[in-house]
Amino acid sequence: MDVSDLLTSAGINIAICVVLLSLYSILRKQPGNACVYFTRRLVSEPVRGTGDISCFERFVPSTGWIAKAWQATDEEILAVGGVDAVAFMRIVVFSIRVFIIAAVICLFIVLPVNYYGQDMQHKEIHSESLEVFTIGNVKEDSKWLWVHCLALYLISCSACVLLYSDYKSITKMRLAHITGSPPNPSHFTVLVRGVPWSPDNSYSNSVEQFFSTYYPESYLSHQMVYGSCTVDKLMKDAERMYRMLKSIDPRFLDRSLPYCIPGGAAHPFMVLNLRADSVSSSTSMDRLQSSQRRKECPAAFVFFRTRYAALVAAQVLQSSNPMLWVTELAPEPHDVYWSNLSIPYKQVWLRKITTLIASVVFMFLFLLPVTFVQGLTQLEHLDQLSRRVPFLKGILKQEFIHRVVTGYLPSVILMLFLYAVPPTMMLFSAMEGNISRSQRKRSACIKVLYFTIWNVFFVNVLSGSIIRQLTVFSSFKDAPTQLARAVPTQATFFTTYVLSSGWASLSCEIMQPFPLICNFFRKFILRTKVEPSSCALTFPHHTEIPRLLLFVHIGFTCSIMAPLILPFLLVFFFLAFLVYRNQILNVYVRKYESGGEFWPIVHNSAIFSLLLTQVIALGIFGIKRSPVASGFIIPLILLTLLFNEYCRQRFSPVFKRRPAQILIEMDQQDEQLGRKEEIRNQIRSAYFQNPIISHQVSINSNLPLSRNTSHHQGDEDNLHGLKSLKPFRNSTRSIR
Amino acid sequence: MDVSDLLTSAGINIAICVVLLSLYSILRKQPGNACVYFTRRLVSEPVRGTGDISCFERFVPSTGWIAKAWQATDEEILAVGGVDAVAFMRIVVFSIRVFIIAAVICLFIVLPVNYYGQDMQHKEIHSESLEVFTIGNVKEDSKWLWVHCLALYLISCSACVLLYSDYKSITKMRLAHITGSPPNPSHFTVLVRGVPWSPDNSYSNSVEQFFSTYYPESYLSHQMVYGSCTVDKLMKDAERMYRMLKSIDPRFLDRSLPYCIPGGAAHPFMVLNLRADSVSSSTSMDRLQSSQRRKECPAAFVFFRTRYAALVAAQVLQSSNPMLWVTELAPEPHDVYWSNLSIPYKQVWLRKITTLIASVVFMFLFLLPVTFVQGLTQLEHLDQLSRRVPFLKGILKQEFIHRVVTGYLPSVILMLFLYAVPPTMMLFSAMEGNISRSQRKRSACIKVLYFTIWNVFFVNVLSGSIIRQLTVFSSFKDAPTQLARAVPTQATFFTTYVLSSGWASLSCEIMQPFPLICNFFRKFILRTKVEPSSCALTFPHHTEIPRLLLFVHIGFTCSIMAPLILPFLLVFFFLAFLVYRNQILNVYVRKYESGGEFWPIVHNSAIFSLLLTQVIALGIFGIKRSPVASGFIIPLILLTLLFNEYCRQRFSPVFKRRPAQILIEMDQQDEQLGRKEEIRNQIRSAYFQNPIISHQVSINSNLPLSRNTSHHQGDEDNLHGLKSLKPFRNSTRSIR
């Protein structure tokens, strides 16, 4: 691939991006699409004028959204998206900063060294092969390799400094989030699982007995978790149908409804729902008791009087059998993943192992499409293909098609395959038994991250070069050398990958094609009224964080080997900055808040990328026979490892446990302000495993931390939905 | 090596063992050696009649000690050596049980299959090569390989069942130890490190302020840790001299003392000591305060009113900076490793990494002697040697010498080198910053274990076979196959290793040559009186556990490949059973108690050995082209992994944290019995960083859990001695 190929590819991609972004700026101005592009605003500010936009303006692309996204301050982002959103944007900002430094160093110092590395006649610049710009072009035994070594030192140091300051500020933000938020029920609540079964007592009685014996001063009350039964499932189906039908515009109901609904009126289901509610609450106490008994799970939310008491109860080992009375801090009410709470705790470890194995198997099965894609970038494979399928021969001969096939198609195919990954990993994470949505997303995020870095980076690097797959596993000592041989040759592929997959994915992200089509379908085919809250999505951390981190990884590893990739990466990150800010401000709603808990993943991944870059550099200096440069890399590797260990010691505990000091101070403050009683009442009603009741409330809810009891998640989170529908409000027991 | 070689080797070793054990039975009857062979008894029962043994009886070998060791019950061992001793003996019992099962299976079923595995003319049994008895003798594609597969299944299952029941019973014992012991100061005490420095406050005030603010109800008092200064060191030297001189028999003092002591009387140092004591306590309060201030370390023992409060304070994250106010449960008073307490907490992670690196480097540098040793077992190397050093030629030609050199010498050399390892690892563990002696020993135990398994097993296996060192690291996929090729060929070496190193190490253990020589030297050359408590050793877990586990490892990996090793191993473990019981009953004192905390190491190591055996079997069945047998091994590996994970979930948390339920119940019991005040007084005086005062008490102490304040450890533990000698009793501050 030469420079003109690259420019063709860049041209195609820029054109596509411009077209898509223009299309976006038009589509977002259509009032009908407001619930796709302004979901968050519609949910939080239900009555909102669409403004008087003239018909002409509505169909002219504009750049207003860019200005708005650019001008938003960090405080706005924090108010709108919480710490998670700010931490996410921090990944983008970190990448921009570090790659600006890297680009300056590499383009002005390393690139000329690479280009003039061999005594050769240079062709005209546009037909120059891209390989000329990589470190592969530097002569063996060259004296100029210290430039690369120095560049790597500078990049590593600046990356570490930036990582440190980011980790520090996000830790501070996380602590501020804990102290600054209004009294949060999750601070007072402990989730206990593995309640032992006893023939004399119900689970509920056991929980009450246990906590009033061992925590007599701080135990407030508890609330059992209920499993689902047939009646629940029927009610759930009924509710789903009700929701579906209710959302149909009443105007169309009589005219266009091709099927029959008993009652025919617009709101008979509301009545039905209320009746079901009244029936269940008027059932005789005895029957309710026995039915509750049958369905009680050995899990409960236990409420404590103070935050510190809850923290303590969550962190100590309760019983001498560690599989019983397992406590942990409860997730936020909106964050609870109810259906997993009924999983017996004894199964959890088994589920974790099973999903781990399943993910690994999935990761390796995915080699097949990747290998195919990789084959396309290599000419000899194309020749083989055209020999087997003769009619392709003519097409492939054409210069333009050829460029598209080698420069663009592989990335597109890979990207399409990659789209199937996050839902699969999300499914695995749900099966794993995670008790909260944020935990599930974090777990999926880690899986997707491993997956992408393995399948996009390593497999491409290793399968595309001298070494064939699977023989890779048999060699560890030579890994640096082999990577060093492979990475520069694969730099071309990564450049096109950034161009195609990177840029296109951002356009795709901002266009939201899937919700757009759904919206269109519902509006014009089904003619149902779309409730903004029912199609509100939470931020897809599990797809976007791995994507960004993959590009960070590619950026680091290619930086000194093939510096030409850096400008394209920078464009990607700038675009990402605008797109994600826009999406956070307008599209995604915040239903729960993990307080930036995913940051350690980001940090570790960046450190891993840095280390890999250094190991590859070690290999390259070995190949180029420059022992001095190799020698200088080893202390760099050690220093990076030490830096990582220091950060792990200094910051990461705060992301796993809440500091007692802060919680005690908050408790003391509550006491001084005399709002203890108020908080207690609030906690008792915070966790309800009951979507029917809560549904009516949730529609008009705006802030996730407000005290409504909504657990209705109309987004992709609902995949493994909410099981139990019956109102068990009366099952919350209090001992005083 | 053929059968007669093996029998020669066995003969030599049996003879040596018999001689050494007879010698032991004579030596132990000499009254002068009582302080070597009955140290524990002398310390716990100071006045003990040596019995009236006639002169003749004293010089006749007897087997009385064997009977006594055999007859001792588990309760006696528990009373004498605590849970640690019982758990240690459990390793031996586990090994005996599992290898009896393995021996029955392998000798009666697997061995005949191996022996008749090839269609060959068998020689006379005594000149048969040992290789004929290994799995290497089975034909490729043999139908009889399912026998090996079945044997492996049976061995794995029985090992897992035994491991499970042992883990369970030791967990139970540990819990009983926690509940059953008399009120233990360490249950009420938290060690806090990383006290932040403030210009206005002393560390002591900071600690008081912090804990009385955040734990107002449960905080009792605290006691600072003091660093050492010059005066301390001088006092320490003085004390050492005093101890040395005091131990000289007064009768010899005037006659034989070649140097001059001021005062000349037998006990001037007692006076001196008391005077020093009175001087320091009569110093004006101001000066004491300022000197204290100068030497205060940012670490303190904090005492709480209840066990539960201490547990909670130890387990929560105190501050939002995880490097400050780091709390953990304090070790037992005798277990505290004072000199490490003054290490700033910020250094600890760095020290851990450094010692890790140092241990790994040490592990690999050790390859050199091992390679040399391994060379000796191979004939071609011997030939080379005799060509280079001609005068050896004649000697090496002799049949007997040749047998000794190939069958015995290598093990002896390896063993001698291995003796240097535990002290080195102990040094590393001390530098690591462990705060208690038991933790240090456990850490050294893990290091020695890795070291022995790597250097004795892997390096021998891999360097001795086709593959040369270091190329080993480059291949992971083929590891099972390579191990499968190597292990059966190295079985001979391991058999001789068990014979020589194993048996001899036990004889050596019971003979205690080093203390014996020291005793002799002190008694007849220096003519000093030996204080039993000053030469009392604690049980050397860090050398004995890795040794046993190495033999367990060799036993498992060789079991189905080369079953001939099993009888020798069984003899080793039977002997170990007797020897260690004897040593626990008579020699080693119990100064502190970890409650069997090392058991998870044993469990994990056994599981690792099992898994490695299975992986090797997988490789062998691959080489022998028996896909069915290979296929059957894979589920076995998965099941073993699952079993291990289950045990980790079910038992290991109890070994890391104390269950709250139990502690709360103990607190309630104390309250009911009305002994809270008594316990509180006791705790306050439990931790003293002051060997001079405590020394007088410790001499007559017998039980480690008694309330004396001795920290004088006259054993190898004293290597990095006790720094501060001044009495800081008055520095224990109480807020009420």
- pLDDT at position A170 is 94
How many helices and strands, by DSSP H and E, does chain B display? 36, 5
Alpha carbons A594 and A670: distance in angstroms, whole number: 23
Contact B658/A at CB under 8 A: yes
Q: How far apart are CA A681 and CA A679, in angstroms?
A: 5
Query: Which range has highest mean pLDDT (A541-550, A689-698, B120-129, B293-302)?
Result: A541-550
- Which amino acid belongs to residue A659? P
Q: How is chain A split into domains, by residue range? A: 3-178+349-656, 185-331+659-734
Q: How far apart are CA B237 and CA B731, in angstroms?
A: 24
Give SS3 for A299: strand
Alpha-carbon distances, residue A704 vs A184, A440, B440 (angstroms): 11, 18, 49
What mean pLDDT do residues A252-276 have?
43
Residue B51 φ/ψ region, left for φ over 0, alpha for ψ in the -120 to 50 degree band, beta for the rest: left
Nearest to B500 by CA among B410, B401, B382: B410
Beta strands across the sheet bearing B296-304: B326-329, B189-193, B296-304, B219-226, B733-734
d(CA A3, CA A56): 41
Q: Which two tokens stand for residue B439?
A: 């933790």
Bin A185: left if φ > 0, else alpha if -120 < ψ < 50, else beta: alpha
- CA gap B428, B437 in Å, rounded: 13
CA distance B34 to B49: 11
Query: What b/e sequence results for A563-574 when a residue is b if at least 16 CB atoms lie within 10 Å of its CB, and e otherwise?
Result: bbbbebbbbbbe
pLDDT at A630: 86
B700 pLDDT higher than 60: no
Between B184 and A46, name the one with better pLDDT. B184
Q: Could you give the ipTM of this predicted complex?
A: 0.79
Spatial neighbors of B278 by CB under 8 A, at least 6 apart, are none
CA of B176: which chain A residue's CA is closest? A320
Q: How close B309 comes to chain A (CA, Å)?
A: 10
Q: How far is A299 from chain B (nearest CA, A)?
A: 18
Report the C-alpha gap between A1 and A403 in whole angstroms: 8
The reported pLDDT for the residue numbered B379 is 57
Per-residue pLDDT of B133-170, as tens digits, reads 888 788 888 888 888 999 999 999 999 999 999 999 99
Token pair, residue A433, equals 């038994």
Contact between B538 and B608 under an 8 Å Cβ cutoff? The reply is: no
B661 neighbors A319 (Cβ within 8 angstroms): yes
pLDDT score of A24 more than 70? yes
Residues from chain B contacting residue A473 (CB–CB below 8 Å) = 476-477
* Interchain CB distance below 8 Å, A315 and B311: no
Using the Cβ of B168 and the Cβ atoms of chain A, whether some distance falls under 8 Å is answered with no
Residue A269 Cα to chain centre, angstroms: 36
**Band of the pLDDT at A374, cuts 50, 70, 90?**
low
Closest residue to A311, CB basis, from B316, B325, B661 = B316
Residue A228: predicted pLDDT: 67
pLDDT at B715: 36
Between B677 and B193, the higher pLDDT residue? B193
- Contact status, residue B186 vs residue B329, Cβ threshold 8 Å: yes
- Alpha-carbon span A533 to A196, nearest angstrom: 40
Whether A664 sits inside 8 A of B214 (CB atoms) is yes
Binding-face residues of B in 202-241 toward A, CB within 8 A: 214
Label residue B230 by pLDDT band (50, 70, 90). low
Which residues does B322 contact at the CB level (< 8 Å), separation at least 6?
Answer: A649, A650, A651, A652, A653, A654
- pLDDT over 70, % of chain A: 76
pLDDT score for B641: 93
Residues of A with Cβ-Cβ distance to B645 under 8 angstroms: 349, 353
In the predicted model, what is the mean pLDDT of residues A678-701? 61
Average model confidence (pLDDT) across chain A: 78
CA angle A493, A496, A498 (to 5 degrees): 110
A11, two tokens: 């041209």
The answer to whether A180 faces chain B, any CB pair under 8 Å, is no
| Partner-chain contact A475 B475, CB within 8 Å | yes
Q: Which segment, A37-41, A480-484, B278-282, B615-619, is predicted with the most confidence on average?
A: B615-619
What are A430-445's pLDDT values in tens digits?
998 888 988 999 999 9
What is the phi/psi pair of residue B34, to 5°?
-55, -35
CA B455, B459, B460, B463: dihedral to nearest 10 degrees? -150
Give per-residue pLDDT as tens, A77-126. 888 888 999 999 999 999 999 999 999 999 998 888 888 887 777 777 77
Helix (H) or strand (E) holding B635: helix B627-650
Lowest mean pLDDT among A18-32, A191-205, A393-407: A393-407
The residue type found at B671 is E
B657 → closest Cβ in A317, A325, A477: A317
How sure is the predictor about B638, in pLDDT bands with cuts at 50, 70 and 90?
very high
Per-residue pLDDT for B706 more than 60? no
Q: Greater confidence, B90 or B265?
A: B90
Residue A161's pLDDT is 96
Q: What is the per-residue burial (b if ≥16 Cβ within 10 Å, else e) of A656-682?
A: ebbbbbbbbbbbeebeeeeeeeebbeb
Q: Letter for the amino acid at B35? A: C
A645/B contact by beta carbon, under 8 A: yes
The values of phi and psi at residue A304, to 5°, are -120, 165
pLDDT of residue A556 exceeding 90, the answer is: yes
**Is the CB of residue A395 less than 8 Å away from at least one CB of chain B?**
no
- pLDDT classification of A233: cutoffs 50, 70, 90: low
More confident residue, A721 or B419: B419
Interface contact A316, partner B, CB < 8 A: yes
Average pLDDT, chain B: 78
CB atoms within 10 A of CB B278: 10
Looking up tokens 């859990």, which residue turns up? Answer: B705
What are the distances in angstroms from CA B72 to CA B41, B80, B91, B180?
15, 11, 17, 22
Provide mean pLDDT across the span A397-408: 70
DSSP for B137-181 reads: GSPTT-TTHHHHHHHHHHHHHHHHHHHHHHHHHHHHHHHHHHHHS
pLDDT of amino acid B47? 55
CB contact under 8 A, B475 and A473: no
Counting Cβ atoms within 10 Å, is residue A553 exposed (0-12), middle (13-18) or buried (19+)? buried
For residue A642, give the nearest of B317, B353, B662 by CB distance.
B353
A475 touches chain B (CB under 8 A): yes
Q: How confident is the model at residue B519 (pLDDT cuts 50, 70, 90)?
A: confident
With a cut of 50, say whether residue B13 has pLDDT above it.
yes
Can you read off the two tokens belonging to residue A474? 């048999």
Burial-class residue A575 by CB neighbours within 10 Å (0-12, 13-18, 19+).
buried
* Interface probe with A: pick from B169, B179, B215, B321, most Cβ of A within 10 Å: B321
User: Residue A308: closest CA among chain B residues belongs to which residue?
Assistant: B316
Copy the structure tokens of residue A428: 């695995």
Binary contact (A477, B473; C-beta < 8 A): yes
Taking residues A485-513, report their average pLDDT.
82
Contacts of B354 in chain A (CB under 8 A): none
The per-residue pLDDT for B276 is 43
Give the pLDDT band (50/70/90) at residue B182. confident
**pLDDT, position A696:** 38
Residues of chain A numbered 339-368 and touching chain B (CB < 8 Å): 349-350, 353
Q: How far is CA A426 from CA A87, A447, A551, A618, in A?
A: 21, 9, 21, 37
Average pLDDT over residues A293-317: 86
pLDDT in tens, A314-351: 988 988 888 899 999 999 888 888 888 888 888 889 99
CB-neighbour burial class of residue B207 (10 A; exposed 0-12, middle 13-18, buried 19+):
buried
* Range with lowest mean pLDDT among B277-281, B375-379, B636-640: B277-281
Return the higher-pLDDT residue of A41 and B356: B356
Mark yes or no for CB contact B319/A659 under 8 Å: yes
Task: Answer whether residue A728 shows pLDDT above 50.
Answer: no
User: What's CA A537's distance to the chain center, in Å?
Assistant: 12
Mutate to test the interface with A, among B192, B306, B316 (most CBs of A within 10 A): B316
Average pLDDT over residues B470-478: 53
Residue B622 three-state SS: helix
> What pLDDT score does B157 carry?
95
Residue B142 CA to residue B625 CA, distance in Å, equals 8
% of chain B with per-residue pLDDT over 90: 23
* Burial of B131 per CB tally in 10 Å (0-12, 13-18, 19+): middle
Contact present, A614 and A637 (Cβ < 8 Å): yes
Q: Report the b/e string of A597-628 with b at 16+ CB within 10 A.
A: bbbbbbbbbbbbbbbbbbbbbbbbbbbbebee
Residue B39, pLDDT above cutoff 70: yes
pLDDT confidence tier of residue B417, bands split at 50, 70 and 90: confident
Q: Mutate which of B178, B195, B661 to test chain A, going by most A C-beta atoms within 10 A? A: B661
**CB-based contact (8 Å) between B175 and chain A?**
yes
Does residue A298 sit in helix, strand or coil?
Answer: strand
Mean pLDDT lowest for which of A393-397, A564-568, B339-343, B658-662?
A393-397
CA–CA dist B327, B303 (Å, integer):
12
**How far, in Å, CA of B307 to CA of B182, rounded?**
13
Q: What pLDDT is attached to residue A257? A: 41
Which residues have C-beta within 8 Å of that of residue A115, sequence separation ≥ 6?
A122, A132, A133, A137
- Any idea how long chain B is? 736
Selection from B455, B482, B459 nearest residue B469 by Cα: B459
Which among B318, B323, B470 is the nearest to A661, CB-wise?
B318
> Residue A171: is its pLDDT beyond 90?
yes
Most confident of A277-286, A287-296, A417-426, B355-364: B355-364
CB A559 within 8 A of CB A156: no
User: pLDDT value at position A278?
Assistant: 44
Inter-chain CB proximity B214 and A312 less than 8 Å:
no
Whether the pLDDT of residue A716 is over 70: the answer is no
- Out of A17-31, A163-177, B378-392, pick the least confident: B378-392
pLDDT given at position B263:
41
Most confident of A93-102, A449-458, B377-386: A93-102
Residues of chain B contacting A315 with CB distance shorter than 8 Å:
312, 315-316
Instruction: Specify the higher pLDDT residue, A188 or A681.
Output: A188
Angle at the Cα of A70 from the Cα atoms of A67 and A71, rounded to 5 degrees = 85
Cβ separation B319–A478 shorter than 8 A:
no
Q: What mean pLDDT comes out for the span B261-285? A: 43
| Conformational region of residue A527, where left means phi above 0, alpha means psi within -120 to 50, and beta covers everything else | left
pLDDT at A698 over 70: no
Residues near A20 by beta carbon (within 8 Å), at least 6 away in sequence: A507, A508, A510, A511
pLDDT at A51: 53
Long-range contacts of the stretch B428-432 (C-beta < 8 A, 24+): B428/B355, B428/B358, B428/B359, B428/B362, B429/B355, B429/B542, B430/B337, B430/B340, B430/B719, B430/B720, B431/B351, B431/B354, B431/B355, B432/B348, B432/B351, B432/B352, B432/B355
Tell me the torsion sign for CA atoms B379, B382, B388, B394. Answer: negative
Contact between residue A208 and residue A222 where contact means Cβ atoms under 8 Å apart: yes
Q: Is the dihedral of CA A412, A414, A420, A421 positive or negative?
A: negative
CA distance B465 to B467: 5
Contact A350 B642 (CB under 8 A): yes
pLDDT, greater one: B718 or A277 = A277
